[in-house]
């Protein structure tokens, strides 16, 4: 009996540690998102130029994520995640230092590359812990990411309201988050490949099974990226809101995503992945309509909140489906993540380009159409759902596997 209790305690501790890593990762994104207008003004960029520069975030992630599996295989999950997470937190300072378009593009590439590799490593650990717990936890882990993003965006809202220099703001945030990341990584599972395990290729293309799952994630990440990067600009430019209120819109979007993801595992266990994503797609599309038709900041903020509520659980369910679809979770997750981050590559540039040619309202028509795609294509997650852990499966310890 004592051994069983110790095993259950071990797997719970592993879950909490990985959840804390998700929160730190999200805090970096939330910190940056609220200060995008400041970065735009500092670099003297038009809407189209800003969209082009933001696209390098996802471009860097898409280029670097296929490398994550090989790094984890060689150095182990704990060491790899500690290094990749520190790269991500430190890279937060780079965008605020960029004085022009070229340097901002380079900064966003590094920022995105470190974000993407840390993302793959922590999601692979999340799938591993989910297997051993015997129940769905990925939505909750991503809920912790959103909670961290909410904290970061709340601090960013305050900083924007006070008119603080983002260079100072980002430097302080990066220092705090780097220390927190190094501390929480001490307790994540230290999974290592066995001697007989074959090393994955240094650069692995997405497996075939990841393509359809990734298409659903593509729609969700497009809507998420557009809302994160452009909600504050939308309220400021289209609805003439103050900088503080515009930043608060991003915070509200983060809040609804955090709440929905934290509650998402219970919903998924009751209604299944397919039903949950379909309902979310309908809700997100309705939110998009409110954004497009808004004549007042409160209406647009409600639309962004509904958008966040609708798309919240989609990406965690895509990662979980990929992780349960084969024997190599890191490679499958990297494949889906590469596809979804490609959506992030397209979203900022397309939103900015359409805004340059027409206006931001037309840009969010595109977002609304893609949100409808979630309801239309949710059925592709059914294959991953068949392999999802059952609640009746007993918890097991998360051992350290050493070569």
Q: What is the pLDDT of residues 221-244, one digit of tens each?
A: 889 888 887 898 899 888 888 888
Assess whether 218 and 156 both reside in one domain.
no
| 155 and 281 together in one domain | no
Q: Is 320 found in the same domain as 174?
A: no
Q: What is the dihedral of CA 252, 257, 259, 263, to 10 degrees?
A: 170
Closest Cα partner for 223 from 304, 294, 154?
304
DSSP-based three-state secondary structure for 359:
coil
Residue 134 confidence (pLDDT) above 90: no
Residue 352 belongs to some domain of the structure: yes
Please tell me whether residues 39 and 162 are part of one structural domain: yes
Q: Do both 312 and 356 map to the same domain?
A: yes
The range of the structural domain enclosing residue 95 comes to 1-188
Closest CA to 305 of 255, 232, 267: 255
Pair 303, 252: CB distance under 8 Å: no
Mean pLDDT, residues 109-117? 94
Chain position carrying tokens 């981050």:
341
pLDDT of residue 359: 81
The whole model's pTM is what?
0.77
How confident is residue 112, by pLDDT bands cut at 50, 70 and 90? very high
71 with 131, same domain: the answer is yes
Q: How far apart are CA 309 and CA 220, in angstroms?
A: 11
Q: State whether 183 and 325 are in the same domain.
A: no
CB neighbour list of residue 341: distance below 8 Å, 6 or more residues apart: 58, 61, 62, 65, 112, 116, 221
CA distances from 328 to 73, 125, 195, 331, 383 (A): 11, 12, 16, 6, 16
Reading the block at residue 308, the tokens are: 């966040």
- Within-domain flag for 391: no
Q: Is residue 220 part of a domain?
A: yes
Evaluate whether residue 337 is within a structural domain: yes
The answer to whether residue 401 is domain-embedded is no
Q: How far apart are CA 209 and CA 197, in angstroms?
A: 22
Residues 27/177, Cβ–Cβ less than 8 Å = yes
Q: Give the separation between CA 369 and CA 138, rounded to whole angstroms.
A: 27
Q: Which of 188, 220, 238 is at the close of a domain?
A: 188
Please determine, for residue 132, whether its predicted confidence score (pLDDT) is greater than 70: yes
Tell me: pLDDT of 383 over 70: no
**Mean pLDDT of all residues in 117-141:** 86
- Residues 86 and 84: their CA atoms lie apart, in Å, by 5
* Average pLDDT score, the chain: 84
Instruction: Write the pLDDT tens digit of every residue in 155-190.
Output: 998 998 898 999 999 999 999 999 999 999 988 888
pLDDT in tens, 15-47: 899 999 999 999 999 999 889 999 999 999 998
Predicted local distance difference test score (pLDDT) of residue 2: 66
**Same domain, yes or no: 248 and 169:** no
pLDDT band of residue 218 (cuts 50, 70, 90) is confident
Task: Classify residue 7 as exposed, middle or buried by CB count within 10 Å of its CB (0-12, 13-18, 19+).
Answer: middle
276 band by pLDDT with thresholds 50, 70 and 90: very high
Taking residues 105-129, report their average pLDDT.
Answer: 92
Q: Does residue 399 fall inside a structural domain?
A: no
Instruction: Assess if residue 403 is contained within a domain.
Output: no
Same domain, 243 and 296: yes
Task: Kindly list the distances between the CA atom of residue 272 and the CA atoms of 208, 209, 309, in Å, as whole numbers in the listed order.
Answer: 23, 20, 17
SS3 382: helix
Predicted local confidence at residue 127, as pLDDT: 84
Look at the chain and report how many structural domains it folds into: 2
Please check whether residue 400 lies inside any domain of the structure: no
Q: Are residues 30 and 147 in the same domain?
A: yes
Q: Which of 4-8, 35-39, 248-252, 384-388 has the highest mean pLDDT?
A: 35-39
What is the structure's pLDDT at 342? Answer: 72
Q: pLDDT tens digits, residue range 288-338? A: 999 999 989 999 999 999 999 999 999 888 888 887 766 566 677 877 887
Q: Are residues 166 and 207 in the same domain?
A: no
Quick one: 168 and 24 in the same domain? yes
**CATH code assigned at 226:** 1.20.1250.20
């Amino acid at each position: 009996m004592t051994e069983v209790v110790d095993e259950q305690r071990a797997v719970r501790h592993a879950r909490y540690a990985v959840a804390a890593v998700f929160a730190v990762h999200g805090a970096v994104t939330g910190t940056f998102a609220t200060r995008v207008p400041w970065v735009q003004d500092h670099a003297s960029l038009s809407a189209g130029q800003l969209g082009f520069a933001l696209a390098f975030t996802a471009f860097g992630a898409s280029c670097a994520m296929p490398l994550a599996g090989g790094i984890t295989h060689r150095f182990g999950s704990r060491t790899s995640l500690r290094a990749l997470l520190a790269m991500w937190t430190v890279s937060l300072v780079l965008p605020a230092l960029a004085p022009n378009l070229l340097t901002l593009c380079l900064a966003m590439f590094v920022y995105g590359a470190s974000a993407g590799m840390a993302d793959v490593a922590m999601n692979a650990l999340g799938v591993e812990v989910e297997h051993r717990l015997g129940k769905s936890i990925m939505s909750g882990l991503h809920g912790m990411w959103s909670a961290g993003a909410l904290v970061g965006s709340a601090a960013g809202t305050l900083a924007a309201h006070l008119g603080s220099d983002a260079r100072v703001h980002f430097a302080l945030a990066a220092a705090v988050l780097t220390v927190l990341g190094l501390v929480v990584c001490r307790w994540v599972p230290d999974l290592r490949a066995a001697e007989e395990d074959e090393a994955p290729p240094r650069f692995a293309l997405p497996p075939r099974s990841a393509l359809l799952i990734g298409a659903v994630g593509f729609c969700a990440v497009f809507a998420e990226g557009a809302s994160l990067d452009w909600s504050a600009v939308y309220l400021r430019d289209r609805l003439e809101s103050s900088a503080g209120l515009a930043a608060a819109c991003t915070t509200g979007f983060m809040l609804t995503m955090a709440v929905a993801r934290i509650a998402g595992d219970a919903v998924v266990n009751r209604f299944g992945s397919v039903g949950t994503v379909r309902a979310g797609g309908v809700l997100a599309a309705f939110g998009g309509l409110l954004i497009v038709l808004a004549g007042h900041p409160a209406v647009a903020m409600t639309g962004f909140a509904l958008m966040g509520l609708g798309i919240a659980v989609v990406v965690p369910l895509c990662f979980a489906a990929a992780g349960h679809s084969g024997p190599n979770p890191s490679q499958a997750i990297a494949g889906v993540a590469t596809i979804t981050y490609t959506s992030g590559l397209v979203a900022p540039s397309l939103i900015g380009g359409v805004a340059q040619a027409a206006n931001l309202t037309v840009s969010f028509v595109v977002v609304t159409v893609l949100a409808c795609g979630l309801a239309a294509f949710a059925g592709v997650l059914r294959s991953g759902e068949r392999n999802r852990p059952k609640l009746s499966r007993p918890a097991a310890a998360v051992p350290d596997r050493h070569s």
